[in-house]
Amino acid sequence: MKNCLLVLLLATCAQAATSPSSLIANVPGRTTVSLNGAWHAIVDPYDNGGGSGFFRDEKPRSNSDRIEYSFDLSPVLNVPGDWNTQREQLMFYEGPVWYRRQFIYHKRPNTRVFVYFGAANYTSTVYLNGEKLGDHEGGFTAFNFEATSTLRDGDNFLVVEVNNTRRADGVPALRTDWWNYGGITRDVTLIELPAAFIQDYWVQLAHGSQNEVAGWVQLDGAQSAQQVTIEIPEAHIRESVTTDAAGQANFHFPARLDLWSPEHPKLYDVTVSSGSDIVHDQIGFRTIQVQGANILLNGKPVFLRGVSMHEEAPFREGRAFSPEDAQTLLGWVKELGCNFVRLAHYPHNENEIRLADRIGLLVWSEIPVYWDIDWQNAATLANAQAQLRDEFARDHNRAAVILWSIANETPVKPERVQFLKQLAQEARELDSTRLVTSAMDRVDQTSVDVRTLSDPLGEVLDVLGLNEYLGWYWGRPEDADRMQWKSAWNKPIIVSEFGGGAPFGLHGDADQRWTEEYQDRLFQHQLGMIQRIPNLAGMAPWVLMDFRSPARMLPGIQDYHNRKGLISNRGQRKLAFYTLQKFYKKKMMEAGK
Ligand code: GCB
């Protein structure tokens, strides 16, 4: 109850807040020019390119000129795409790569142009026609820079230095259990906009209400107050508001809407217009709240039948990036009988989130505050906060997203709680309408067969994520039959990870590690135990599909892959896939879904 009140208070503040990021709502329907495709790329392990001015893309003007690089003579890398899986020598490469793309652009009057990157891992410096547009840090969030005055009519060239060197002060820091894929991993687009345009908007149900819509619109470049119109034709809604001096307008109006849910993923066409700018989006409306140990979707308790997944490409190696990748991965999630997916451990690409909206999957979205990071470093905190803001900026209109996860398996120590408290606060200031969570793995051994979740971070979360690997990293699978769980808080618990590794096709006894039989046995005992966890509101076992990891070296078994997938990276379902599927089908029947 106390929580609800707090959330309600914050709700009022958040709904009056302006857009927190300069990210442009890159919605379908905007006029865009794709810069995807082949980019010439120079691999620069000693980082010579900055000093040598690679961003100028110079060519020798005479026979005696000394220019010690050439984009024209360098091989190409495909964008979007990680570099690691495009060239064998780059599989383990960590360092700078310089990308160059030439393109022809015809300038248009009264048009502003932004260059938009879906993501590039980990730092990026962007230059257009030899001039720097800006820098970005963070491997999984979108960013854009204005290019209007730097663009030329005719030939242009864009140079991007992308560097995936791991950093002790980075987010994530030096150690992860996933591949450090480098490169421009998501789409690159030029977005054309009028002089004054709709930078961002938030259209959603007012906090705690199922029949009022509330939100804001943020204009960029407006010289005076402007009228903004929000339309939801199917619901007979047409509302106009006027922006203030900062180009912002809040709105609040009654609405009768068919609510979005996994069983009924209803999306409405929503139009926001102002002056000559208009955006078309498809938006679902639903509420998500916590009441005691329950998660309520549209006011009713929901059990989250989920699975965790990485953004790893099915059937080929590397980062997933295409709508087809998303279809395959989320298709498997559906096939398992899930209504929920944990997109670990960083913001996934927008294709996945939009598809989840369309097919009805509730989403746990996470920033890569993973294991140990530089908790006492103010710049690291600022970086994590910026990643959270950028994640929110891109996805806040998506009904599918219900949980912001601020961290995964972070060590219990005071400076970490301090850091994460500030992130939780940031998440709530940005968005009071969703729930804040984190996956935690530190539990107390209360007695031989009792474990208690008492990580002090639990205090600041709405929903507790529990990563427990009973039967894999500790104990035997059968120990689950006796194990009891307690929690220091009366809050919903999601078992956010458990699992065990088995390469597809390795068969043997059920007590032989690495066999599909062992993995399956582990799942069978886990599923019995999990249902006895008090306050259980959902689960997301580890993991949908095998994925690459530099930390998994065992030859013949892992070969640099984490094999805890229920499906191999060639799409083969393992025994445990069917066990989980059967369990979820039963849960669905019980819930009458
Ligand atoms: C975890 C981590 C996840 C790892 C997994 C494992 O607890 O959250 O990133 O990949 O365990 O397989 O050990």
Answer whether 227's CB lies under 8 Å from 241's CB.
yes
Question: 28: which 2 tokens?
Answer: 């379908």
Residue owning the nearest CA to atom 13 of ligand 1: 177
Q: How far is the CA of 497 from the centre of ligand 1 (A)?
A: 8
Residue 126 to residue 131: CA distance in whole angstroms: 8
Cα 38 versus chain centre, distance:
26
Atom of ligand 1 nearest to the CA of 549: 10
Atom of ligand 1 nearest to the CA of 467: 7
Residue owning the nearest CA to atom 9 of ligand 1: 177
How large is the greatest C-alpha to C-alpha distance in the chain, in angstroms?
80
Atom of ligand 1 nearest to the CA of 409: 8
Cα 252 versus chain centre, distance:
29
Pocket of ligand 1 (CB under 6 A): 177, 345, 408-409, 441, 467, 497, 542, 562, 564
Atom of ligand 1 nearest to the CA of 547: 10
Q: How far is the CA of 348 from the centre of ligand 1 (A)?
A: 17
User: Which among 125, 132, 146, 144 is positioned nearest to 187, based on CA atoms?
Assistant: 144
Q: How far is the CA of 439 from the centre of ligand 1 (A)?
A: 11
Task: Give the phi and the psi of residue 154 in degrees, each rounded to 5.
Answer: 115, -130
Q: How far is the CA of 346 from the centre of ligand 1 (A)?
A: 13
Residue owning the nearest CA to atom 4 of ligand 1: 177
Answer whether 129's CB lies under 8 Å from 152's CB.
yes
pLDDT tens by residue, 174-222: 999 999 999 999 999 999 999 999 999 999 999 989 999 999 999 999 9
pLDDT at 241: 98
pLDDT at 173: 98
Ligand 1 mutation target, pool 309, 494, 542, most atoms within 8 A of CB: 542
The amino acid at residue 234 is E
User: Which among 338, 330, 231, 354 is positioned nearest to 580, based on CA atoms?
Assistant: 338
Q: How far is the CA of 543 from the centre of ligand 1 (A)?
A: 9
pLDDT at 19: 61
pLDDT at 18: 53
Residue 457 to residue 483: CA distance in whole angstroms: 23
- Within 10 angstroms of residue 361's Cβ, the number of other Cβ atoms is 22
Answer whether 495's CB lies under 8 Å from 552's CB.
no
pLDDT at 592: 84
pLDDT at 438: 98
Number of continuous H segments (helices) and E segments (strands) in the chain: 8, 33
Report helix angle 414-430 to 378-395, nearest 10.
30
Q: How far is the CA of 431 from the centre of ligand 1 (A)?
A: 28
Residue 371 to residue 525: CA distance in whole angstroms: 27
Residue owning the nearest CA to atom 3 of ligand 1: 177
Query: For each of the chain's 593 residues, which pLDDT tens digit applies?
Result: 334 333 333 333 334 445 667 899 888 778 999 999 999 999 999 999 999 999 999 999 999 999 999 999 999 999 999 999 999 999 999 999 999 999 999 999 999 999 999 999 999 999 999 999 999 999 999 999 999 999 999 999 999 999 999 999 999 999 999 999 999 999 999 999 999 999 999 999 999 899 999 999 999 999 999 999 999 999 999 999 999 999 999 999 999 999 999 999 999 999 999 999 999 999 999 999 999 999 999 999 999 999 999 999 999 999 999 999 999 999 999 999 999 999 999 999 999 999 999 999 999 999 999 999 999 999 999 999 999 999 999 999 999 999 999 999 999 999 999 999 999 999 999 999 999 999 999 999 999 999 999 999 999 999 999 999 999 999 999 999 999 999 999 999 999 999 999 999 999 999 999 999 999 999 999 999 999 999 999 999 999 999 999 999 999 999 999 999 999 999 999 999 999 999 999 999 998 87
Ligand 1 mutation target, pool 371, 409, 497, most atoms within 8 A of CB: 497
Answer whether 206's CB lies under 8 Å from 212's CB.
yes
Residue 477 to residue 471: CA distance in whole angstroms: 4
Atom of ligand 1 nearest to the CA of 345: 9
Q: How far is the CA of 178 from the centre of ligand 1 (A)?
A: 9
The amino acid at residue 53 is G
Q: How far is the CA of 177 from the centre of ligand 1 (A)?
A: 6
Beta bridge partners of 445: 451
pLDDT at 5: 38
Residue 477 to residue 89: CA distance in whole angstroms: 40
Q: How far is the CA of 80 from the centre of ligand 1 (A)?
A: 27
CA distance to 410, 436, 444, 479, 481, per residue, from 452 (Å): 17, 21, 5, 16, 16
